[in-house]
Amino acid sequence: MNLAGRRIWVTRPAGQAAGLVGLLTARGANVFALPLLEIGPPDDPLPLQTALADLAAYDLAIAVSPSAVAAMLAALPGAWPATLALAVVGPGSLRAAHAADIRNLVYPQDQFDSEGLLAIPRMQSVAGQRILLLRGNGGRELLPDTLRARGAWVDVVQAYSRAAPALAASELLAELERGCAAMIVTSSEAAQHLFRLGGEAARQSLQSVLYCVPHPRIAEALAAEGARHILQSATGDAAMTDRLCHHFSGAAAEHPLPGTSP
């Protein structure tokens, strides 16, 4: 019960936080849910519907996030073709694909990001192949650009939309005053939304919060906003929960980024 009585903020989108909340609660945490990304339908559903109706034309499909997998499954007109491989980036997407009984899966073993996916053998020899890439609005161009450079034809389709939540700075400040022992942030975009929502009124308070993040890119986004206390964890709900438990039990020291103070 290393988190007993501690108010831990979970900032994942609604509908994607239950597993993490359960693990934190089991360790005694008082969890406050503050979704920093709102997931919605794509701006135009037709491209997704058209692509999913024509899956036979593709050699590989890629879903970049659990939200992409969920949107794909919701719009899928039938069963997933057994011969079509689906590439996913992280454990959450992999679990969602397994739950939908998709077995022809391509995924990285230890580096759960675009770089990790691009490094695996299946993604090296894609010349002449047609690839469907499902993602939200915006996002990094590393995956499509690299695959095209390797000779693939890549159709990028918006499967869902991401937006900042509607939250007044005064509401955020009020919650900070109620307590934040640590905040778990699982995307760079969420980190940016947090500081935009708070504005200058909350910036100083947000900069002093202890953050737990599963990827260096998220840590860098928070550091760029002035955050001074950042714990980096391995990917996955259990890993983040353990990281916080170890920190609060004194078993592991905080590892601040260069230029930040412990």
The tens digit of pLDDT for each residue in 196-211 reads 988 888 899 999 999 9
The contacts of residue 188 (CB under 8 Å, 6+ apart) are: 217, 218, 220, 221
H or E element, residue 238: helix 237-249
Res 92 pLDDT > 60: yes
Classify 40-162 by CATH class: alpha beta
Res 1 pLDDT > 90: no
The tens digit of pLDDT for each residue in 25-70 reads 999 999 999 999 999 999 999 999 999 999 999 999 999 999 999 9
Q: How confident is the model at residue 235 (pLDDT cuts 50, 70, 90)?
A: confident
CATH architecture of 7-37+164-249: 3-Layer(aba) Sandwich (3.40)
Q: How confident is the model at residue 253 (pLDDT cuts 50, 70, 90)?
A: very low
Strands 153-158 and 85-88: unpaired
Per-chain mean pLDDT for the chain = 91
- CB-CB contact of 173 with 104 (8 Å): no
Q: How high is the pLDDT of residue 55?
A: 96
pTM over 0.85: no
CATH 3.40.50.10090 domain range(s) in the chain: 7-37+164-249, 40-162
Question: For residues 220 and 211, what is the distance between their CA atoms, to the nearest angstrom?
Answer: 12
Q: How confident is the model at residue 91 (pLDDT cuts 50, 70, 90)?
A: confident
For residue 123, the Cα-to-chain-centroid distance in whole angstroms is: 21
